[in-house]
Amino acid sequence: MIIAVDAMGGDYAPANPVLGSIAAARDAGVHTILVGDEDAVRQELGKHDADGLPIEVVHASEVIRMDEPTLTALRSKRDSSIRVCTRLVREGKAHGIVTAGHTGAAMAITKIVVGSLPGVKRPALALTVPTPHGKPAVFLDVGANVTCRSSNLVQFAIMGNIFAEDILQIKRPRVGVLSNGEEATKGNELVRKTVALLERTSLNFIGPVEGRDLFNGQCDVIVTDGFTGNAVLKAAESIAELAFFVLRKELLSTWVTKVAALMMRRSFKRLKQKFDYTEYGGALLLGVKGVSIICHGRSNPQAIKNAILVAADFYDHRASERISDRISELYAQHIL
């Protein structure tokens, strides 16, 4: 099993993708292909003791900049590092993709070049979110599909469920659909139709859930459309940033609080870790052949490494095949 890593994606490329690949090879023996400007990548590899590690380099002559419009990136840059990654997957030379590059371009190019799994109408972007105890929850779609039908949300539930089972090792994940209240009378038309369909599946469906259930551990998989998911996720990130900002300002205000802050720096570190995205590396584009993990542009080597391990784990569990199988069951049962 081989993972294609976009060596040019992210704010710290090629350094961090290269370090992430080296760590994944050293710590878990995962085989990667670093895709990007060959000279730059080999030079970066030469800085570290990477000889003998299962790391290949494949050249790509172009890079998609973070600020490029997705459509331009899609049409004009035929030899971008992310596009070459997707080609490797299409040709069977790699089984998953990790990139810290342009999210929109990575999603669009993966969908076009690699394509969806049999039966999957719309791939979705899934992210893990922190909860008070134990395992995180899976939240999707966080931005791949602005407008959705109930059948799309049912497919997202299947995909999120497999992610929770295979990667997070949660047995019988509790699946909910995001609504504005738990009562059956609440929810918009999309939610009510989705609830009716999900009740007919064999998933451990717990019904409509509220925004508060995202981070309170009451639910393992929460599905919504990409518009709502994106708004919710960015607002949650933003209020967490605000909380840290206010706390930092308060703690730097007097010498007593400065000393206290020093005394509890480890606690703050663990708090930040809890809200850190890097544990599972990034957002997973679920429903495409292979799997595509899109890391934050600022990802550190640890985040890239974790993303590579998740991609490898996903392949090892045959998660894609399981998604396809579960979805074709729903077609057979006339739920979809």
Which among 53-61, 112-120, 167-175, 222-230 is the span making contact with its own copies, rule CB under 8 A? 222-230
Closest CA to 138 of 127, 152, 124: 127
DSSP string, 29-44: --EEEEEE-HHHHHHH
Give just the sign of the alpha carbon dihedral 329, 331, 334, 336: positive
Q: According to CB under 8 A, which one of 65, 251, 276, 317 is a site residue for its own copies?
A: 251
**Of 1 and 239, CB closest to its own copies:** 239
Closest CA to 157 of 288, 286, 319, 333: 286
When asked if residue 196 is in the footprint of its own copies (CB under 8 A), the reply is: no
Q: Which of residues 5-44 bind its own copies (CB under 8 A)?
A: none
User: How far is the CA of 159 from the CAs of 104, 184, 213, 296, in angstroms?
Assistant: 20, 24, 19, 21
What CA–CA distance (Å, rounded) separates 150 from 36?
39
Please, are residues 260 and 251 in contact by the beta-carbon 8 Å criterion?
yes
When asked if residue 169 is in the footprint of its own copies (CB under 8 A), the reply is: no
When asked if residue 224 is in the footprint of its own copies (CB under 8 A), the reply is: yes
Residues whose CB is less than 8 angstroms from the CB of residue 122 and which lie 6 or more positions away in sequence, other chains included: 116, 141, 144, 145, 148, 152, 155, 287
What CA–CA distance (Å, rounded) separates 153 from 198?
9
b/e map 53-79, b = 16+ CB within 10 Å: bebebbebebbbeeebebeebbeebee
Please, are residues 124 and 156 in contact by the beta-carbon 8 Å criterion?
yes
When asked if residue 278 is in the footprint of its own copies (CB under 8 A), the reply is: no
When asked if residue 172 is in the footprint of its own copies (CB under 8 A), the reply is: no
When asked if residue 261 is in the footprint of its own copies (CB under 8 A), the reply is: yes
Q: Which of residues 118-137 bind its own copies (CB under 8 A)?
A: 130-132
What CA–CA distance (Å, rounded) separates 54 from 154?
39
When asked if residue 298 is in the footprint of its own copies (CB under 8 A), the reply is: no
Closest CA to 20 of 314, 336, 302, 317: 302
Q: According to CB under 8 A, which one of 233, 310, 312, 323 is a site residue for its own copies?
A: 233
When asked if residue 108 is in the footprint of its own copies (CB under 8 A), the reply is: no
Q: What is the identity of the amino acid at 24?
A: A
When asked if residue 75 is in the footprint of its own copies (CB under 8 A), the reply is: no
When asked if residue 1 is in the footprint of its own copies (CB under 8 A), the reply is: no
When asked if residue 189 is in the footprint of its own copies (CB under 8 A), the reply is: yes
When asked if residue 186 is in the footprint of its own copies (CB under 8 A), the reply is: yes
Which among 11-19, 44-52, 242-250, 301-309 is the span making contact with its own copies, rule CB under 8 A? 242-250
Q: According to CB under 8 A, which one of 40, 66, 240, 335 is a site residue for its own copies?
A: 240
Q: According to CB under 8 A, which one of 52, 147, 169, 332 is a site residue for its own copies?
A: 147
Which among 4-12, 74-82, 109-117, 224-232 is the span making contact with its own copies, rule CB under 8 A? 224-232
**Of 12 and 275, CB closest to its own copies:** 275
Tokens of 108: 């669009």
Binding residues (CB under 8 A) for its own copies: these are 69, 130-132, 143, 146-147, 178-181, 183, 185-189, 191, 210-216, 224, 226-228, 230-243, 245-247, 250-251, 253, 256-257, 259-261, 263-264, 267-268, 270-271, 274-275
